[in-house]
Every structure is written in C-alpha cells, then in structure tokens.
Amino acid sequence: MKNSLNFIKDRSSAFKLSNAICDAINKTYNKYWNTETSSKPSLESLEFSWRKNMRCYKPIFE
C-alpha cells in the first residue's frame, strides 16, 4: 500500500499513468463503439468527463 501511495505522489508516474488510461479509453471506445448505434456516446462528452474527473492532460481523441 505504501508503494502505491508513493507512486501516486510522484507527478511523473501519475502523468504516465493518466496518459496510459487515456490511451486505453481511446482504444476501448474505438473497439466497442465502432458501429453506428443510437446509444453511442459522443467523443466530446467522454473526453470532457475524463478531463474533468481525472485531469487528463492530453487529447484522448483525435
């Protein structure tokens, strides 16, 4: 548990983790919502929610 807290406190590691999560969301979105459906969330709403809640510092959808 202590190592986990140190990892989170290290800004460089936290930034890398944030970017990895952003990339995973992008890949998941493209994999599972690649077809046209009425329930497909907009990329903008997903990105806004992610940036607001997780402080993602790079665009996750190009």
Mean pLDDT for back-to-back runs of 10 residues, the chain (62 residues)? 57 77 77 60 65 54 46
The one-letter code for the residue type at 47 is E
What pLDDT sits at residue 1?
45
What pLDDT sits at residue 17?
80
What pLDDT sits at residue 25?
78
What pLDDT sits at residue 26?
76
CA distance 17 to 15: 5
